[in-house]
Amino acid sequence: MPYLSPVSAQRVEGLAVAALAVVVTVTAGYPWWSLLALFLVFDVSMLGYLRGPRLGAFCYNLAHSYTVPVVLGAVAVAAAGFGGEIGWLGILALTWVFHIAVDRGLGYGLKTAEGFEHTHLGLIGKARSRGPL
């Protein structure tokens, strides 16, 4: 049986979650292009790196963890179940999950305090080509 490393498994998982977000978006009646229109909004969190790697990692990880968008999605689904009209919250949650999933699929993991190129999935960018320090 072939071996799938944990990093590879998380990358495949990210792509599967991204595909699921697309299916749910279209099935729920949201325009598919909204996933692309809002895609880069969540990368504003990288501005934390202007104040240093620790704050940068904190801000980035807060915006790139599934916790907040999943809670928002649950609120949107519950509100819809009770007849509430907060569809904007649903598409925000789906777009946020889609963004995180695509990032993970591409190998961009949660950051460490060592710097932007150090992630829980390994080194990225120029640090990857230099190898581990």
Q: Is the pLDDT of residue 61 over 90?
A: yes
Return the structure tokens found at 89: 């919250």
pTM (whole model) above 0.85: yes
**How does DSSP assign the chain, residue by residue?**
-----HHHHHHHHHHHHHHHHHHHHHHTT--TTHHHHTGGGGGGGGGGGGG-HHHHHHHHHHHTSSHHHHHHHHHHHHHHHTT---HHHHHHHHHHHHHHHHHHHTT---EETTEEEEETTEE-HHHHHH---
Q: Is the pLDDT of residue 38 over 60?
A: yes
Question: Domain coordinates of the chain in residue numbers?
Answer: 6-130
Q: List pLDDT tens digits, range 70-127.
A: 999 999 999 988 888 778 999 999 999 999 999 999 988 888 888 778 778 777 766 6
Q: List pLDDT tens digits, range 13-34.
A: 999 999 999 999 999 899 999 9
Place of tokens 């940068």: 56
**How does DSSP assign 22-38, residue by residue?**
HHHHHHTT--TTHHHHT
φ, ψ of residue 38 to 5 degrees: the values are -100, 0
Q: CB under 8 Å to 86, separation ≥6 — which residues?
A: 75, 76, 79, 80
